[in-house]
Structure 1
């Protein structure tokens, strides 16, 4: 098949490449993927549909994508030290959506950090799906220390009695005490979800405490501090794993983006190695 060059787009892409090469970017949610990694995001797997999970697909010809997804799963479990990981979420927000869909009912109460104090849209803001389907309550930072006020959080949790408490944020630069969050969640019989999209690489590198074996469900993106493809993952306690997997497929998504699943496997391997 003859290769078609799109010169108009090539010129724009070259300009963006120069912008990235010659700029110092301090956007916390961006990173620079390695050259060896980037080729995998455009692999031949972009041609392959693979609805379902390894060993239980709805399409023929999935023997090799099964091997790739299983490898991504094992590598993900290895770097996080977890027993179960789902590598299919297309994004962090969809990983969060699957958590809500699989663990909650419409109208259930969620307690999360207010967006203007460092929370995230998908944690219940009223313009987001999460704020339209669930009853959202917020906790806030202490106005003087600008840190999480756990005493105030406990009082709100006691009053609201949420079904789910969310920790992990989009604009909070302090270490997160997952154990304190878990203690509060248990005191009101709530599930605890940790969204570590911004700190996943720090968790893997053991530069930030890990929520694994503390939170009931952990969601993350793979393109920020993990330096992988644009996408999401979820680490789930074994008791909730089957529910969550059904929350991704068939509840929220159809087929996984297999070239990105491959790229996640590569990123997890890179994350397991010491930088030069």
Structure 2
């Protein structure tokens, strides 16, 4: 019998910063503190995650270039850590790819050819490690999403796409839910949804818009509200109980993949698991 809802994991960046003795660019923990990345993956699996995301969101040339590491080294290590943590379980591994920090022309200086090349390097290295899914998340520009997905389609790996909206259903670049769905219509994408930027209370009305434009399974991974790190602990706007109550309400709108973004933790995923049971 097919499950109605699969649990994703929670935050990577804020969780690693809370665990680590020093704050580094998040991708850098793959090579410099791999043990805490592995530990976090295991904690999410134990909490009930059916899918865990690799620590590769920002592991692209723009960020890695001056570090002394190669993009391939960082990305492959990220997938390796997740796959090792998932060994002996039914948990799937998702190659996590984020947007580039530079804006595409005409809003910025990034040319499409350069963006393609950057994504070829990052996605190619990850795909070589045979993840179960390639996910594009926190995308706010439909053109950058189009470029990234076009590169991923070269590999025989399922593709998911998750975008970041404000409470009115617009991205930072002014793209609507419909704009993003229309952009993806030419590709073979298996799930779409939203993550980051909003807490679950404000994100639920936005995910509800998706069903007007697509029949694809939906992804819902909101923030735990505004959050800060103090004395090695993530202080969040939403309590675990409030977050879970609001997040689970998204299931009424066709959400199939449920997790948390910034500020959430294994504790949040465990509470979701208990709520769903």
Q: Same fold (TM over 0.5)?
A: no
Larger Rg: 1
Q: Which TM-score band applies after superposition, normalised by the shorter structure?
A: 0.3 to 0.5
Per the normalisation by structure 2, the TM-score is 0.34
